Amino acid sequence: MKMKMVPSLSLFPRTLSVFPGNPRYSACTKSRAPWLLIRACSTSNSNYAGVALEESVNSTTTKVRLDTWISSRIDGISRARVQSTIKSGLVTVNGRIIDKVSHKLKSGDKVSCTISELQPLKAQPQDIPLDILYEDDHLLVVNKPPHMVVHPAPGNATGTLVNAILHHCCLPVASFPIMEIPSDEDDVSQGEISSYSADDTYLEPSFSGLTEASIRPGIVHRLDKGTSGLLVVAKDEHSHAHLSEQFKQRTVQRVYISLTCGVPFPALGRVNIPISRDLNNRIRMAAVVGSGKCGKTRHAASRFRVIEILAGGGCALVEWRLETGRTHQIRAHAKYLGIPLLGDEVYGGTKSLALDRLQQKNSSNLPGKLLQLISNLERPCLHALTLGFMHPHTRKQVHFSCLPPVDFAEVLSVLRSVNTEKVSLKVILVWDF
């Protein structure tokens, strides 16, 4: 670890209510933007269709999901493809058709399956309300709500941000092959495809001859399904290329806020730990130290600082600034620091952990409303607060910000009612992990 001294930093406003005004395009014209179309492309014949598996489950100490087990037995195939196969009635367990992907297998079960045909996804325009902070002829800045998937994927072909954009811009139905695409905070511009999508589905390997722009209608970067906040969407190829280059050069200003289970120590620092696929859990990434058992690692660096210590130290309001944009980067780094995000069941921020830490710090003085709010959380408390970049046509710096949604704000408000302490950063020790 390296230690250094840093000067005082201004604190984030406690009320989370003071922001510079955002320009809004209140009278948006639904002009056509042909570049937003997802071009239909032919697929490769080598797509695992017809691959058969017939095998018995070996002795295991715990029951395992059917989709997970099949994915582990056929190398190179996605879980989304396996799930589609199961739902199509092409899997039997002990001679009985099972169409439930979460069916639990036990030792000795005999599984037979035949992988289904790979079908192209169709993105249809849908009249889904969009919270547009800014729009002109070249781009949109959207405040994505939690639980909305950015891009269509197997299991989430509708209700996505792309479906909403196609309708907003009056574009027709678009077809495209199933592809591997980046997710969460991953930048589409980085040229390296991730096997993780924001909604716990997996996308098939890319096909030759396809450009990234052909499968991502204006999407320059992504947020996880559960993450709320700001996204920029390009309307033309020039804007997409220019914005992508800014993400690649890391000149885009991105600030996230989160609620964490516990308080990081020290209160300000930089996590410089590579991220890799967690081989024990395909839907999770892991911060990897050294050369342990892991998949391909990617450089990842995050800066964090504590804004407020909440409920006597049971939780904290933490700001994150990304130096890189990796899949699940904040969530994996928060887990590495021992302060998983509140509500992040995948990375350890379980409701039981949150309640345990809150009760340890506050005895039995927790309001019933707080316990109820935490119990009802269905996503990590992570919000993309601010976004700044150079406009691809005017070449002027633009900056946008938006308040967190109701679920995040309510939990924060009740935590503050228990106890809150602003963090003074006049002079603080900073560790480079």
Contacts of 358 (CB under 8 A, 6+ apart): 311, 314, 315, 366, 370, 374
Per the omega criterion (within 30 degrees of 0), is the bond before 129 cis?
no
Do the strands 52-56 and 110-114 form a parallel or antiparallel pair, or are they unpaired? antiparallel
| Neighbour-count burial for 36-54, b at 16+ CB within 10 Å, e otherwise | bbbeebebeeebbeeeebe
- Our measurement of the distance from residue 168's CA atom to the centroid of its chain's CA atoms, rounded to an integer in Å, reads 23
- Our measurement of the distance from residue 161's CA atom to the centroid of its chain's CA atoms, rounded to an integer in Å, reads 14
Amino acid at site 110: K
Contacts of 190 (CB under 8 A, 6+ apart): 182, 247, 248, 325
Tokens of 411: 């939990």
Contacts of 139 (CB under 8 A, 6+ apart): 232, 233, 234, 235, 239, 243, 391, 392
Is 243 in contact with 232 (CB distance < 8 Å)? yes
311 φ/ψ angles, rounded to the nearest 5 degrees: 50, 50
- Fill in the DSSP letter of residue 348: T
347 φ/ψ angles, rounded to the nearest 5 degrees: -110, 25
Angle at CA of residue 294, ends 85 and 106, nearest 5°: 45
Number of other CB atoms surrounding residue 311 within 10 Å: 24
Which DSSP string do the residues of 315-336 spell out, in sequence order?
EEEEEEEESS--TTHHHHHHHH
Q: Is 375 helix (H, G, I), strand (E, B) or coil?
A: helix
- Our measurement of the distance from residue 346's CA atom to the centroid of its chain's CA atoms, rounded to an integer in Å, reads 12
Active site residues: 224
Q: How far apart are CA 87 and CA 67, in angstroms?
A: 10
Torsion angle, alpha carbons of 337, 322, 342, 68, to 10 = -90
Tokens 């992504």 belong to 222
Number of other CB atoms surrounding residue 209 within 10 Å: 9
Q: How far apart are CA 97 and CA 145, in angstroms?
A: 38
